[in-house]
Amino acid sequence: MLFNSPEFLIFLVLAFVLYWFVFNRHLKAQNALIVALSYLFYGWWDWRFLGLLFASSFVDYNVGLGLARIVNPSRRKLLLVASLVANLGLLGFFKYYNFFVTEFIDAFSHLGVHLDVNTLNIILPVGISFYTFQSISYAIDVYRRNIEPTRDLVAFLAYVSFFPQLVAGPIERATNLLPQFTSKRHFDYALATDGMRQVLWGFFKKIVIADNCASYVNDIFGNTADYNGGTLFLGAVLFAFQIYGDFSGYSDIAIGTARLFGFSLMQNFAYPYFSRDVAEFWRRWHISLSTWFRDYVYIPLGGSKGGTWMKIRNTFVIFLLSGFWHGANLTFIAWGFLHALYFIPLQLTGKNRVNINIVAHGNQWVSPMDVLRILFTFLLVTFGWIFFRAKSITHAFEYILGIFTKAPLEALAIFPISLLGLIGFMLAVEWVHRDKQHGLEITWLQDKKVLRWCMYLGIMLLIFLFGNFGKTEFIYFAF
């Protein structure tokens, strides 16, 4: 079920009414309703994979109980390994089996050996990378004794399958989300209205920005040889805004929807295109995944405490894993490798944590030097997005070569000025609210009801006039 579909809007209204007006008397009944709604939401795509979702949850629920009973360190570690093998085994089979088989066959073919190994017609379960990592984090946190294991199976099933963030995050931690399922919830009008504002902003970024950019991006990347250098560069820039509008738009809708039901999810995007270096970008882009790899991979490997070579090794591991997490294609590995190359000079010179504060904090105007830093970082990130979007490594290099070797003529001829204006509007709104949780957290208009509603209605009008209502899937559904 897509957020940007009439079915979801009907589903959301019915879920809200049932949750607050029918099942509101008992916490367990509310949690059971969430599980039922979440499984319906997920099964709407393909009911056959509901078993995988339940299996991942059931394994780690029992692992948590086992870790609570067992004192022996070796047996506790063995139990954790069983969780990792079960979860990563399912993820590896569905997401990477054909990739490894194909690469294996290709490697031998280069040596003149032709292997007759069949690949399988495996359908990738939507969201498996997200809910698998969320379930694994619970087992690791219980193993580390960061959280007490829950004995409430329904609450745990709700934690893993919570429908707003089930298929594309944020990847929540049990330390934050699970206690919210075990505590009585009361309707909070302020939280719900702020959630609706965030949902509205998410729809604007998805339907108006991302889906309109997609029309041009698909054509330019699909017909690379037909376009000049300027148009190819424009296509890369548009993809940068497409993937941001698409993914951060999903996160806004997910977080806002969760607030309607009394839940607070972590911020997943903090205006990453206002970053002044790549290190800051990664603190602001897909925060739930970045912090997951930091806490469960990077720090256990030694983090930044070791010598130079250990720092370099750990950085490459984390970025290559991040690339591989996104999909079974060498383009994602190249994307991760490139970002490691961006990051390491900052790390080795101790400049990776220079830009911690929000750019131009407390001011609406930014210094010329920060403008240059932001533009340079955006260009680096956009260059990396070419590998992310390309069909293959060969296609990526052909695309890049075309940017630098073909005459940059008439790039704007295919580009409607209205889309440029809409992107500018989005950036302006988010610049004003860059110290807030989302683009429509307009606390500065708190006492100006008429102006607030003019802004809401104006954004609704923009969605109505310029929205692409083709029910385009979210990019990260593929991961």
The residues annotated with a catalytic role in the active site are: 326
| Cα angle, residue 273 at apex, residues 267 and 275 outer, rounded to 5° | 90
Contact 468, 206 (CB under 8 A): no
Interatomic CA distance for residues 217 and 386, integer angstroms: 11
Q: What residues contact 184, with CB distance under 8 A and at least 6 apart?
A: 27
Interatomic CA distance for residues 386 and 397, integer angstroms: 9
Q: Which residue has the tokens 């295109």?
A: 273
Contact 418, 466 (CB under 8 A): yes
Q: What residues contact 205, with CB distance under 8 A and at least 6 apart?
A: 244, 245, 246, 248, 249, 252, 426, 439
| CA-closest candidate to residue 435, choices 381, 364, 375 | 364
Interatomic CA distance for residues 295 and 293, integer angstroms: 6
Interatomic CA distance for residues 87 and 171, integer angstroms: 15
Interatomic CA distance for residues 463 and 353, integer angstroms: 38
How far is the CA of 104 from the CAs of 14, 39, 110, in angstroms?
Answer: 49, 37, 10
Q: Which residue has the tokens 């073909």?
A: 406
Task: Give the SS3 label for residue 334.
Answer: helix
- H-helix or E-strand spanning residue 320: helix 308-326
Q: What residues contact 281, with CB distance under 8 A and at least 6 apart?
A: 272, 275, 377, 381
Interatomic CA distance for residues 464 and 60, integer angstroms: 44
As given in the structure block, the two tokens for residue 51 are 């078993």
